[in-house]
Structure 1
Amino acid sequence: MRIETTGGNHERVRVRTALLLGCTALVALPSTSLRAQEIENSGSATVLETITVKGGGDDDANSIVATQTTSGSKMATDILDTPASISVITAKEMEERGVKNVEDALKYTAGVTTDFYGSDDRFDFFKIRGFDALTYRDGLRLGAPFGGIREEPYAYERIEVLKGANSTVFGVSDPGGSVNFVTKRPKRERFGEAYVTGGSFDHAEIGFDFGDNVTADDTLSFRMTGKLQNADAEYDYSRDDEKFFMGGLTWRPTDMTNLTVVYDHLDKDGVPGGGGHPVGTDFDRSRFFGEPDFNYRGVDRDSVSVMFDHDFGTGLTFNANARYSDESSNFGYAYISGTPTDGSTIAERAFFANDSAAERFIIDAHLQYDTSFEFVDSRTLVGVEYNNTSSTNNGYFSNDAPGIDWTNPVYTGAPESVPPYTSTNTDQKTTAIYVEQNLTFADRLIATIGLRNDWIDISETNNLAGTTSDGDISELTSRFGLTYRFTNEFAAYASYAESVVPASLGVEPERGEQYEIGVKYRPDAFPALFTASVYDLTKNNITRTNPATGFEEAIGEVRVRGIDLEAKAEMMYNLSLTAAYSYMKSEIVENGAAGFEGNELSFVPNQVASLWLNYDLKGNGTIGDMTFGLGARYQSSYYFDNANTQWTGDSIVFDAAYTYDIRENTTFEVNVSNLFDEKYVAYGGFGADFYNPGRAVFATLRHTW
């Protein structure tokens, strides 16, 4: 007999004995619907009989090791059976490391680089395998982090990182990979936590996350999550305030049907950054060379998400996710745009501002059919997606900001106005159809095929020129993969995947393709996942602005070859770890008249490594349990420009954490980032230096129930 999950999560599950925290314990798994089936020796399809038992699935609040993902395909799949490199940052891992933002969450992930914009706090800055990465929420597109809204990680149960070109999963995306945020949903049980946090830069924060059943028969459940923060950043004349609230209801009219509705509100009142420091100087990070009266960054977003699934009980399931969001954001600041080389101490400055708004509706719906033919298990998924976005974007820039003497800074106040350089209204409608097929032969060999076509209709109005442009784009992408399960613990895979992302109207889309091979090992003896992969990634039709015409054009090709190694493990002797190593060799293969062929890509280090260790020390009745955490992040040198004329040096940064159990369900936690206050130039090359984030210490009192 083989046991698989139903309700769209048709995965093999295994109950295994784990050595955790120095004692023997059965891994606790949430309740889910499971399916048992017997295979007859005939060529006919087997109808699957549905039963309900306990077990199967991940518990992200209690483990750093995830076993399943939906980021490798729209189907919930065992990570060992997915022909791609996937990393999952669970809620427990985020809590252990004291994650404050998305960049913090991704810092210990193989193939991911962060912090390369230093103290520029406008957006989430990260790259995957050398390229910018698009973000998604519950499989629905959010957009590019650069220029987008910084997400609140406390809203999410986990963060899934899919590496490599793969537009067949979520749609248009860059070839390096994508990040999928999984929303916290109501549970079938009473649970909760509340916390208060204080620390560096006058940081004060309170938060809560709790839920329960509304009805005695578990058919209706709710969850409330929120955070209120009043804080500054690490430089003068700054603020980092936030209000976040999320509420959800889940209705289960039958064992086969689930409907979840989640509303969330995000309000941020901050600043865009410290404005940079003069090149070659070594000021404290707190020194501010912008303009206190022209220094703002605001975000206001409301979203409603609806998630529905139904199991027809015959191997056929239906799933639909939809989200409506209304958002606005802005920023304005002065930054150092040039450092003199004639002995003067007057740095040049520029004013930069932006005001944008967007209204988005996106829905994805698909049918999945699972069946078996003799020694072949088949999973077929067919779906459609529709995305309608209306947005406005106004940009302002001026080189005429008054200079500032860095030996005796005198602020001159906010400008009366800043000239606009861009003002656009954009309406974009995207319709897509996709199909995915998984065939498992004799429980060992798994063939994966994915095809997707996106039709994109764009209308863009240039308000400054008074012109409107329209465009239609149709793009087909594919992926193919083979996975072989040598044992229940060890698998190897090979894959080919494509990506596509539109650049702008009148320009050919940027396309990527990747070849990858890898191995994965998940021991039965204790919760752990070890992965290794080698890849060859190429991106064509790189878009640039022609200096002669002033118009964008597609030209060029870049390539990244690399190795990713990663381990997450909860071992004996009360020890757990997260370890990652990546080697990336980037190359500009073709660059037209720019003449950078053979150079490396900017902001792509050759080597990145990290290690986080957690040790649990059991109490003795008088002294409570304690947990000690220590992490280290290494990053090799990288260039600031594609000409490879300016660069930063190697760096290693340490982080630490400590938790003390005051009493049952109540803990005191201390988290320190950049423990030794390591300082280096993370971004520069244009007239200013931006340092990496400095040491920050936060203490938290947390109570759970």
Structure 2
Amino acid sequence: MPQRPGQPRPLSETPRLRPLFLALRTLCIATAASMATAGLLVPQAAYAQAAPAPDSRELKRFDIAAGPLEGVLNQLGRDTGVLITFESKLTEGMRSPGVRGSHTVQQALAQALEGTGLGMVRAAGGGYALRTLPAMASTSTAAATAPASGTTLAEVRVVDTAPVGGPTEGTGAYTTRSASTATHFALSPRETPQSISVVTRQQMDDQGLVSVPEILDKTPGVTVGRNDSERATFYARGFPIENFQFDGVPSTLDTSNQYTTAIGDSIVYDRVEIVKGATGLLTGAGYPSATINLVRKRPTAEFAGSLSFGAGSWDRLRTTADFSGPLNASGSVRARIVAAAQNANSYVDYYKRDTRNLYGVIEADLTPDTLLTVGVDHMTSRADGATFGHLPLFYSDGTQTRFSRSLNPASRWSYWDNDSTNTFASLKHDFGGGWKLDVAASHLDQSKDVWFGSAYNGSVDRYTGQGIRMLSGLLPSESKTDAVNVALTGPFTLGGRTHELMLGAGYSRQHQQAELHNTVFTTVPNYFAWDGYIQQPASPKRADRDTVIAEKGVSAALRLRPADALSVIVGARASWYRLHDQSTGVAGDISVDDDLNVRAKIIPYAGIVYDLDRTWSVYASYTDIFHPQTYYKDANDRPIAPLTGKSTEVGVKAEFLDRRVNASLALFHVKQNNSAQYVSVNDDTGNEIYKAVDGITSKGLEMEVAGQITPSWNLSAGYTFRTSRQPQQQDVILSAVNTNQPRHLVKLNTSYRLPGEWSKWVVGGSLTWQSRTYYETSDDNHWRADQPAYAVVGLMARYEFDRHLSMTLNINNLFDKTYMPGLGSYGTGVYGDPRNALLTVNYKF
């Protein structure tokens, strides 16, 4: 299973912030200047000219209630995909009649500004400009859309862009305008006082990313460790990621399934947002690694659809279908249904995995201010020849093994079947004046049926092939999770300035039931002759385990704006956590394995963002860490004590090219107590044994840039440096430090539409480079397995026959690099995929 990490020096040892920020800003400016010199950046005016505004004559339906002008304009910007920026003093004290009915963008703006003395004009770059009208000017639509004249009027620029907080589908961008994953406030990446990465629908389509592990494998600062053929552990800043959200709503997943049964196919998602660091304000319990927000696709106002067929290496066949549109004449009820199916063999001998995904959602405008959403997503996977752990890492003399990538340690009769159904509903109500209520509920059913037999336990005699045992047994389990979350957000005025308030409450209850069967060890006579053909041993049932995890919490946060350039977020969450874990033996005897009850655990959160100018900001954030570790058991098969600690972050952010490009640089520092330290495997149960270790620290640096460098060129790139430290303990190697995670990590993803006669071609690629990692055994031998630094390169090319039909070729691991991204899991090694390709034909209508 995943190991535990370690980290950096205290912030008190870092240089003073102002000189550091100035140095970082100088570095970023120099980088941008060098890109411009090389012709990689284009003037902003040229960009605006090349990317014209959407047709403003198109009628759109609006239901924006009367209220403060600032709130109405902000809502109008979100609904139209037009970013409206202005100084608070321009709209201070003004009210708007709101916007209702079907209008063009200009008509909607005119209605919002009626009676305010303000009007708007088209700007040269294809956007709009908001101006104070002369006293004799009419506030009608005609006056509001009159040509610009004169130079004495106060002006605020309005720039056409992707919708704020809206879908990334159809924008063609590698970034988004806002995200609420960290605080539930709809903030731009620059306004969020933490590092944030976004993988958009366009990037998924460009690079053929069909699963969440593949998406995270392309995310800056995130690594994907493979535990075996079916499970992956995601890491950020050296720690496992276990916090997930669906559409911004925190959700509890069955840890023992390692998330594979609940996160399904990428065809379901519009984008994936990853906020680095601890996010205790919304999630309560969690690691200081990251929170992953899986944002599902939503129904569209107009009918749209797509069909695709893909074929690739190892007999891979993939089909998808996606249909969306209104269900009634008025468009007040809309629906979307998405399906995906994939069958695939593998480069690993006799391993095969088939998946099916189905997603359906309906939206209904109950009133102009109330939106009801109900939906369900379902996933099944069936894997034959599935592994549990992977290849032995050591020969009996302590040297590292070098087996073929195709060797499968699983028995021929091994299988791993997953099923997951997530039913959800939400109700959103706009009270007017910017105040909104979000209520969300979900019911998640997960199950797995596993018969594993995997030959990996022990070390191999390099001459006789002896020394390995096959670990086998049954692992059937079910998990049901019910969750409800409520959030109220809105602006208020204090001291003549507008601020924001968020109030939240949540409850979740997870009930896990599992049959516990005896684990059987079978000696493998000669591992060099292993072919998976071995008798299936009996795995008698010894007990039934029943685990209930209930968590509830309330949170509150203020986003204060004491000055135009300053934003301060302060808040806290009070969490109640209850775990009851008991086993009932076959003879009827009941034993309580754990009974944890945490009352009113307070988790503070603080963040500050200061705008140096219209492009650059500096920020800092802090939160506590609290995470019950139910999976990690001690020698008595009881969970170790909850993880605690502190997480801090400082950095600088920037927006370029009318916010089409986001850039950031962050320094982070984390300190943890009760980190899980791997000890050994319990021969009686087959479970891993851990102990708690205090004083694990981790620190590092993250740099990232993402967005549209030009209308034809998308880029997502990042660099991460991380170092972890442990308290001095003689003769102990701490897996809590996660030496299987790199200190240096570089990721680059890009696509480019060729100019002129070649404009039907889009080409691109990806690069992942990471520094050396290693795994060292915790016993007295201290054997060590190394994975040298390596790079993996991918290429893509798409030809668009017309606006409906396209064909995309993705080649992964172009140079066929042999590497192990799963080094050390269960003391074994897992190889990354060899070179492979996928050809996809897509038709949109």
With normalisation by structure 1, the TM-score equals 0.89
Query: Secondary structure of 1:106's partner?
Result: helix
Residue from 693, 714, 717 that aligns with 1:579: 717
- Residue 453 of structure 1: aligned partner: 574
Q: Name structure 1 gaps, 5 residues minimum.
A: 1-15
Q: Does 1:696 align with 2:833?
A: no
Q: Contact (CA 8 Å) 1:492, 1:519: kept in 2 or not?
A: yes
- Residue 128 of structure 2: aligned partner: none
Following superposition, the deviation at residue 219 of structure 1 comes to 0.7
- Residue 10 of structure 1: aligned partner: none
Following superposition, the deviation at residue 26 of structure 1 comes to 2.7
Following superposition, the deviation at residue 312 of structure 1 comes to 1.0
Following superposition, the deviation at residue 40 of structure 1 comes to 9.9
In 1, Cα distance between equivalents of 2:207 and 2:463: 45
In 2, Cα distance between equivalents of 1:382 and 1:396: 45
Moved more, 153-162 or 503-512: 503-512
- Residue 209 of structure 1: aligned partner: 322
The alignment-based identity, stated in percent, is 20
- Residue 532 of structure 1: aligned partner: 665
- Residue 412 of structure 2: aligned partner: 292
Query: Secondary structure of 2:190's partner?
Result: helix
Q: Does 1:323 align with 2:460?
A: no
In 2, Cα distance between equivalents of 1:267 and 1:76: 34
Residues 217/401 of structure 1: CA separation in 2 closer, same or farther (3 Å cut): same
Q: Does 1:37 align with 2:156?
A: no
Structure 1 residues 241-280: aligned runs within 5 Å: 241-271=354-384, 272-273=386-387, 276-277=390-391, 279=393, 280=400
Q: Contact (CA 8 Å) 1:131, 1:174: kept in 2 or not?
A: yes
Q: Contact (CA 8 Å) 1:19, 1:572: kept in 2 or not?
A: no
Deviations 1:176-228 (A, max 9, x none): 12111112221222222110111111111110112011122221000011101
Give the residue type in structure 2 aligned to 1:93: Q
Q: Contact (CA 8 Å) 1:303, 1:323: kept in 2 or not?
A: yes
Residue from 226, 236, 246 that aligns with 1:117: 226
Residues 18/144 of structure 1: CA separation in 2 closer, same or farther (3 Å cut): farther
- Residue 4 of structure 1: aligned partner: none
Residues 149/495 of structure 1: CA separation in 2 closer, same or farther (3 Å cut): closer
In 2, Cα distance between equivalents of 1:408 and 1:254: 69
Q: Does 1:681 align with 2:820?
A: yes
Residues 348/314 of structure 1: CA separation in 2 closer, same or farther (3 Å cut): same
Q: Contact (CA 8 Å) 2:412, 2:533: kept in 1 or not?
A: no
- Residue 770 of structure 2: aligned partner: 635
Query: Secondary structure of 1:675's partner?
Result: coil
Moved more, 237-246 or 676-685: 676-685
Q: Does 1:158 align with 2:271?
A: yes
Q: Contact (CA 8 Å) 1:627, 1:660: kept in 2 or not?
A: yes
Q: Contact (CA 8 Å) 1:206, 1:227: kept in 2 or not?
A: yes
Q: Does 1:605 align with 2:742?
A: yes
Following superposition, the deviation at residue 161 of structure 1 comes to 0.6
Deviations 1:481-509 (A, max 9, x none): 11012233322101111221112477532
Following superposition, the deviation at residue 231 of structure 1 comes to 1.5
Query: Secondary structure of 2:422's partner?
Result: strand
Query: Secondary structure of 2:841's partner?
Result: strand
Residues 275/536 of structure 1: CA separation in 2 closer, same or farther (3 Å cut): closer
Structure 1 residues 121-160: aligned runs within 5 Å: 121-134=229-242, 135-138=244-247, 139-143=249-253, 147-150=257-260, 151-152=263-264, 153-160=266-273
In 1, Cα distance between equivalents of 2:820 and 2:310: 29
Q: Does 1:470 align with 2:595?
A: yes
Q: Does 1:513 align with 2:646?
A: yes
More strand by share: 1
Moved more, 543-552 or 518-527: 543-552
Structure 1 residues 113-512: aligned runs within 5 Å: 113-114=223-224, 116-117=225-226, 120-134=228-242, 135-138=244-247, 139-143=249-253, 147-150=257-260, 151-152=263-264, 153-271=266-384, 272-273=386-387, 276-277=390-391, 279=393, 280-293=400-413, 295-331=414-450, 332-341=452-461, 343-346=463-466, 348-353=468-473, 354-396=475-517, 398=519, 400-403=521-524, 405-418=526-539, 423-464=544-585, 466-468=590-592, 469-474=594-599, 475-504=601-630, 507-512=640-645
- Residue 28 of structure 2: aligned partner: none
Moved more, 386-395 or 259-268: 386-395
Residue from 217, 220, 234 that aligns with 1:107: 217
Following superposition, the deviation at residue 339 of structure 1 comes to 3.1
Residues 436/590 of structure 1: CA separation in 2 closer, same or farther (3 Å cut): farther
Residue from 15, 23, 26 that aligns with 2:53: 26
Following superposition, the deviation at residue 99 of structure 1 comes to 0.5
Following superposition, the deviation at residue 421 of structure 1 comes to 7.7
Residue from 776, 790, 808 that aligns with 1:651: 790
Residues 255/133 of structure 1: CA separation in 2 closer, same or farther (3 Å cut): same
Following superposition, the deviation at residue 594 of structure 1 comes to 6.7
Moved more, 202-211 or 335-344: 335-344
In 1, Cα distance between equivalents of 2:608 and 2:218: 28
How many equivalent pairs are there? Answer: 683
Following superposition, the deviation at residue 289 of structure 1 comes to 3.4
- The CA RMSD measured in Å over matched residues stands at 3.2
Moved more, 142-151 or 607-616: 142-151
Q: Contact (CA 8 Å) 1:402, 1:412: kept in 2 or not?
A: no
Residues 308/352 of structure 1: CA separation in 2 closer, same or farther (3 Å cut): farther
In 2, Cα distance between equivalents of 1:296 and 1:21: 55
In 2, Cα distance between equivalents of 1:703 and 1:364: 38
Moved more, 46-55 or 254-263: 46-55
- Residue 760 of structure 2: aligned partner: 625
Query: Secondary structure of 2:214's partner?
Result: helix
In 2, Cα distance between equivalents of 1:145 and 1:23: 48
With normalisation by structure 2, the TM-score equals 0.75
Deviations 1:492-544 (A, max 9, x none): 10111122111247753201311111111111346211111011111112245
In 2, Cα distance between equivalents of 1:173 and 1:334: 31
Following superposition, the deviation at residue 281 of structure 1 comes to 4.8
Following superposition, the deviation at residue 666 of structure 1 comes to 0.7
Residues 283/416 of structure 1: CA separation in 2 closer, same or farther (3 Å cut): closer
Query: Secondary structure of 1:678's partner?
Result: coil
Residue from 753, 769, 782 that aligns with 1:616: 753
Residue from 69, 83, 107 that aligns with 2:193: 83
